[in-house]
Structures are given as C-alpha cells and as structure tokens.
Amino acid sequence: MSNEAIEKVHVLIIGSGPAGYTAAIYAARANMKPVLYQGIQPGGQLTITTEVENYPGYPDGIQGPEMMVHFEKQAARMGADIRYGLATKVDFSKRPLRVEIDEEKWIEADSVIISTGASAKWLGLESEQRLNGFGVSACAVCDGFFFKGREVAIVGAGDTAAEEAVYLSKLCSTVHMVVRRDQMRASKIMQERVLNTPNIKVYWNSLTDEVLGEHKVEAVRLLNTVTKEKQDIPVSGFFVAIGHEPNSGIFKEFIDMDETGYIKTIPGTTKTNVPGVFAAGDVQDKNYRQAVTAAGSGCMAALDAERYLTAEGLA
Ligand code: NDP
C-alpha cells in the first residue's frame, strides 16, 4: 500500500441506501463532515422497487428511486460530501482506519460507517429479470399490497419465504408456494404456520421453469422434478424469497460476521468488533430489512460515531 495521495476523512460512510444517507444527514448536522461513497448501486435496493407506501411521511406513497433522490438531496443540503465510487478494500488493523476506493486511492478515516446493504438473490431466469417491477418482486412486505385479492406465487422455503407467504396470504386470494425439495428449510413453527394457512398451496419438488407474461406477470410455469411434469399457474405476482446476500465481503478479514456474512453489532448499538467502525442497515440486519429500520440504524450509527470520536478526542 502506497502512502501517496491519502486523503484524510473524519467520518467515512460506505453505501447509499436509507442507512447510509440517514447516517450522512445526522453526521453532517453534527458537523462531522461526512464523506459518503455511493457504491455500485447509488440509492441501494429501493432504486429497483416501484412504489413505496410504507415509509412514513409520504401519505400518497412514492416511487423508490424518487425517494432515494430525496434522501440524497437532504444529505447533500446538510453538507455531506457525496461521491461516486466503490470501496474495494479495507485495512482496519490500525488507526487511522483505511479504505481503498475504486482500487486506486486510499482514504484514512477516524471512523467508518458500513452501510453497504444486501442484495436479493434471484433465480437467474431471463423472464424473471424482464418482468422485475412488473409483477416480479423480491419483497413481499414492499409489494404484496399491489396484489390484494389476487393470486400470487412465492419461491423459497426458508424463514423469509414462509414469513412472506403468510404475510401475502392475508392480502391475496391464494398464495402458491414453490419449494424445490420435499421439505422446507424454515423453522418448524413457520412451516406449521404455512401448512395451516388454508389459502397457501405448497408445491413440493418444484422448480420455476419460467415466469410467463409479455409486459406483466400472468402465470408461472412449474416443473415437478419427480414426475417431470410441467404446469402453468395463473398468477399476477411472482415473489422470489430465496435469501439475501449481505454486501460485506471486503470487511471479512477484520469485522466479525455470522456464518452468512451479516455483520455482527453489539445489540442495541451499531458498534462492530473494531472500535470506530459501525454498521447500519441491511448489511447487519437479516431480520427486518425495511427502509425505515435501515434509516433508523443509520441514525444510530452517526450518533455512535459522534460519541466514539468525542471519547477518543477526535471530534
Ligand atoms: P435461507 O437461506 O434460510 O433459505 C433460502 C431458501 O430458498 C431455502 O429454502 C432454499 O432451498 C431456497 N432456495 C435457494 N436457492 C433457490 C433456488 N435457486 N430455487 C429455489 N429455491 C431456492 O434464506 P432466508 O432469507 O429464508 O433466511 C435467511 C436467514 O434469516 C435464516 O437464518 C433465517 O432463519 C433467518 N430469518 C429469520 C426470521 C425470523 O426469525 N423471523 C425471518 C427471516 C429470516 P433449500 O432449502 O432447498 O436450500
């Protein structure tokens, strides 16, 4: 690592979803001069959703991408330095903390807020990608409402899929749950809840062959791996709930994570195992994963960073 061209930053925020921007708003207002790198998907996961109706303060709802523009504008107005760029490497072994940007320059930071989010896993079908936002969704809580009274399908058999299937069953007429094996991975209690819900129909040993529809989802074609039979089920919505991947790879060497890569924080705080490094939003939350909870934890991270810097005499 060269020592040339190292920029010094007080609070470095990595990631630009609700957690990162909220941290930036709070840090800027506290005069901590935050620098925020937006990452590969400026605005985060909300930029690939359509309407957001459950974020408080928008009584008529708002488009996800537009809401993230609001977040960015607010952070910029408060004085946050918002930049394009991707954190590509870190060195948290000593102080100041070091973060490499775009594989070309290093930044030295007194504190770092990791808000790199998580990415939904997808099946990888062309039709799934083409109809994304037109009936295909990876978030039942975000988009289930749009399918009120209609039939939907959900793929997956973990706790998320089970929880989302039950959630959808309260809104939709029928939920067709597509399970690739002859059993579910979800906890027993969640499985029971699914199996005891009359309007959830489980398709065991079933793969999604194709999502059907020209401009919006009209049906899903399933392949039974035992009988090799295919069947088309008319649905208006197709939910993918096969897990998320936290965007935490570059921190692995230094930051404690669970076995699936979610950053561990000290409960009730955003503190990681490295003093001065805080984590907020989906990269440390596999449970709630909502814009509003991410924003809340971004606020917490800024406050935690401020207290840390004051205690260390770095404020
Ligand atoms: P998981 O990794 O637990 O489950 C993913 C599911 O998707 C599995 O059933 C898997 O099938 C299935 N799957 C994966 N790839 C495909 C594919 N290509 N086609 C079809 N099916 C596929 O992810 P979750 O998001 O459900 O949960 C993540 C973690 O969060 C877990 O530890 C879970 O317990 C926890 N969680 C806890 C909650 C709670 O306590 N309230 C709520 C939500 C999550 P297979 O089983 O065959 O591998």
Q: What spacing in Å lies between the alpha carbon of 184 and ligand 1's midpoint?
A: 9
pLDDT digits (tens, 9 = 90+) for 287-312: 998 999 999 999 999 999 999 999 99
Phi, psi at residue 67, to the nearest 5°?
-60, -40
- Does the pLDDT of residue 3 top 50, yes or no? no
Where are the domains positioned within the chain?
A: 3-119+244-311, 122-240
Does the C-beta of 285 come closer than 6 Å to ligand 1? no
Let me know if 258 is a catalytic residue.
no
Q: Is-contact 243 156, C-beta < 8 A?
A: yes
List 81, 102, 110, 139, catalytic entry: 139
Joined tokens for residue 59: 């009584």
Phi and psi torsions of 182, nearest 5°: -95, 15
CA of 261 to the centre of ligand 1 (A): 14
pLDDT per residue as tens digits for the range 83-113: 999 999 999 999 999 999 999 999 999 999 9
Q: Is 285 a catalytic residue?
A: no
Closest CA to ligand 1's atom 3: 158
Q: For residue 175, how far is the Cα from the chain centroid?
A: 24
- We find that the CATH architecture of domain 122-240 is 3-Layer(bba) Sandwich (3.50)
At residue 30, φ and ψ (nearest 5 deg) are -90, 10
Q: Which CATH class is domain 3-119+244-311?
A: alpha beta
3-119+244-311 and 122-240 share one fold: yes
Total-model pTM = 0.78
The strand pair at 237-240 and 151-155 is best described as: parallel
Whether ligand 1 lies within 6 angstroms of the CB of 286 is answered as yes
Cα(126) to centroid(ligand 1), Å: 22
